[in-house]
Structure 1
Amino acid sequence: MEQDEQDLAGHRERLRRRFLEAPEALPDYELLELLLTLAIPRRDVKPQAKALIRRFGSFADVLTAPVEELMAEAGINQRTAVALKVAREAAIRLARAPVINSVVISSWDSLVDYCRTAMATLPMEQFRLLFLDRKNVLIADELQQTGTIDHTPLYPREVVRRALALHASALIMVHNHPSGDPKPSKADIEMTRAVREALAVVGVQLHDHLVIGRKGDVSFKALGLL
């Protein structure tokens, strides 16, 4: 083994050891570097890790970035981009596990954590509908729409149709604000009222509407808007 290869192998071994001892102590670029080594085993990937952090802003933002934007970076091919996306999906599923088949009202903090993990750093608006049964157990978590950076269409009739198909008794609406500010807009408020009224006609309750942003999250119910 040449000296450069020995140095690289030694560096990676030290990085792995530090991660095993205290994973939370690794800065974003080193955590990303360690992840990249799994997809790129025979090259120094520290430059790629630092370049990705510079471009997208944080470890979470790198994992959330579209595949085509990741591949625009030198040294990042589809295989590497997929590895990053696998890590993000694993994080989402880990966050979702405590709320699936659970009574949502008594697992509220876990629900919000899951929504933040799945949506806070998305570059485009996205709407999710969380369908509940009569005991407020989560029976379905569905992505309804993905829109632009500041708008996502959601049609009350489609929400009602899906709620009836799932025999849901209630639901929670969730969407993100890519701007970072979770404060509901006038359009958010009007659309929520329209959905609530449409659901009421068929006896389905709208429990809440959560707006997720980088700067936090807000509940329509907590704001007195529901």
Structure 2
Amino acid sequence: MNDAAPPEKPHHTGHRARLRARFLEAPSAVPDYEILEMMLFAANPRGDMKTEAKRLLGLFGNSFARLLNADRAALRAAGLTEAQIGPIVLAREAATRLTRADLAEKPILSNWQALLDYVQVAQGEAPVEQFRVLFLDRKNALLKDELQQQGTIDQTPVFPREVVKRALELGASALILVHNHPSGDVKPSRADIEMTKQVRDAAKALGINLHDHVIVGRGRHASLKSMGLI
């Protein structure tokens, strides 16, 4: 007769099911590390992902947004496999498309908060500078949203002629420029101001209006138009 006690079950047995149930019951009450933990489940059929999720968040300053916006190279450097990176990229793209869809509901100038929400999600936490142009029609509805350039941690090369050329190709009547400052300091630099004026003047000569240039970074934003710089 074998009186040996049955082996103890791992402490995480049943944890995934309980976590999913809690999430479905009250999604907003689940902390960031548990959201990330669930994202890692698909690539890790077994094992406790809680410790790994907390480790990853720590590497990105305990910022879920910064982790979601990290590029694949940074995620690989953090020790993630391609299978683990996939759900993170998927979540970022889903959030971007959701906020971008709100821009189509009405003209952008009367839907400014939706624009700010979108660009914050799209690039507010990006680790390098990105330059985006929103091309608008005569009613200020969104024609096209394009990421024109991607640069380094503190600069992005922008060519005003290329911006205006693309506007003509699309038949755009107006533009909104957007770029991010990875440092989180959204104060425009002299180069930002000069480039904006060059785009404004080149566009104006062809009957295209530059509505604004918005700088975003880590939940903050600055409007060059509101600052009286254009």
Shorter-chain TM-score: which interval?
A: over 0.9
The equivalent of 2:161 in structure 1 is 157
Measure, in 2, the Cα distance between the counterparts of 1:20 and 1:202. 53
Bigger Cα Rg: 2
SS of residue matched to 2:126: coil
Task: Say what the alpha-carbon RMSD is for the aligned residues.
Answer: 1.6
Shift of 1:60: 1.4
Corresponding residue of 1:186: 190
Verify: 1:38 aligned to 2:38, yes or no: no
In structure 2, distance between residues paired with 1:3 and 1:25: 31
Using the size of structure 1 for normalisation, the TM-score is 0.94
Matched, 1:64 2:73: no
Rounded Cα–Cα distance in structure 2 between residues aligned with 1:153 and 1:73: 28
Instruction: Say if 2:103 is the partner of 1:99.
Output: yes
Deviation at 1:51, TM superposition (A): 1.0
Shift of 1:3: 4.4
The residue type equivalent to 1:39 in the other structure is A
The worse-fitting range, judged by mean Cα deviation, of 19-28 and 173-182 is: 19-28
Q: Which amino acid letter does the alignment assign opposite residue 59 of structure 1?
A: F
Q: Which residue of 2 aligns with 1:109?
A: 113
Using the alignment, how far apart are the partners of 2:82 and 2:178 within structure 1? Answer: 31
**For residues 167 and 73 of structure 1, what CA distance do their matches in structure 2 show?**
43
The equivalences for 1:9-24 within 5 A come to 9-24=13-28
| Structure-2 separation of matches of 1:118 and 1:67 | 16
* TM-score using structure 2 length: 0.93
Quick one: distance in 2 between partners of 1:62 and 1:3? 35
Structure 1 residue runs of 4 or more that deviate by more than 4 Å after TM superposition: none
SS of match in other structure, 1:144: strand
Matches of 2:134 and 2:187 in 1, distance apart? 20
Separation in 2 of the partners of 1:157 and 1:214? 30
Identity over aligned residues, as a percent? Answer: 54
Give, in whole Å, the separation in 1 of the partners of 2:183 and 2:136.
Answer: 29
Supply the AA of the counterpart residue of 2:133: L
Paired residues in the alignment total: 224
Match of 1:86 in 2: 90
Which sections of structure 2, spanning at least 5 residues, go unmatched? 1-6
- The whole-number CA distance in structure 1 between the counterparts of 2:102 and 2:160 is 29
Q: Is the 8 A contact 2:59 2:78 kept in 1?
A: no
Question: What one-letter code is carried by the residue in structure 2 that aligns with 1:174?
Answer: V
Structure 1 residues 215 and 101, CA, compared in 2 at 3 Å: closer, same or farther?
closer
Structure 1 residue runs of 5 or longer lacking an equivalent are none
How much has 1:21 moved relative to structure 2?
Answer: 1.8
User: 161, 166, 170: which is aligned to 2:170?
Assistant: 166
Deviates more, 1:137-146 or 1:33-42: 33-42
Distance 1:24 1:101 in 2: 26
Find the aligned partners of 1:73 and 1:156 in 2 and give their Cα distance: 37
Tell me the amino acid that sits aligned with residue 72 of structure 2.
Answer: V
The answer (yes or no) to whether the contact 1:101–1:138 under 8 Å persists in 2 is: no
For residues 193 and 77 of structure 2, the distance between their equivalents in structure 1, rounded to whole angstroms, comes to 38
CA distance in 2, matches of 1:206, 1:3: 67
Equivalent positions of 1:126-141 (< 5 A) are 126-141=130-145
Note the alpha carbon deviations across 1:155-190, whole angstroms, 9 max, x for none: 111011000000000010000000101111111111
